[in-house]
Amino acid sequence: MHARKYQREANAIAQQLKAGVDLAHSNRIYLEVPYSERLEAKSRGARWDPKRRQWYVSKGIDLSVVEKWLKPAPVAQRPRPRTGHVGDKRSNG
């Protein structure tokens, strides 16, 4: 159970790093909360950041209560090798 909690927090932090958030001066994990769900997020401990115009929670809380609003961490993808397409009109010789 604890491993999932730490994985969720790590994913949220990784996403914020990718977005350029300065984590050295931030103890916040930002959320993607639709307007229609703002009251629910607030009741679960989320707070509004008026400068960023975005909801957040403080680091160290149980992220399972706001899990549905966490930004998923990007999945690293390897570039695909370029190959000729079956319908390629270029001739080989």
Express each pLDDT in 35-89 by its tens digit.
Answer: 999 999 999 999 999 998 999 999 888 888 999 998 765 566 666 777 666 655 5
The answer to whether residue 92 scores a pLDDT higher than 80 is no
For residue 61, the model assigns a pLDDT of: 85
Determine the Cα–Cα distance for residues 2 and 11; give it in Å rounded to an integer: 14
For residue 84, the model assigns a pLDDT of: 64
CB 15 within 8 A of CB 71: yes
Residue in 19, 1, 22, 2 with CA at minimum distance from that of residue 70: 19
For residue 45, the model assigns a pLDDT of: 93
* pTM for the predicted model, two decimal places: 0.54
> For the segment 11-34, what is each residue's pLDDT rounded down to a tens digit?
777 776 666 555 555 788 889 999
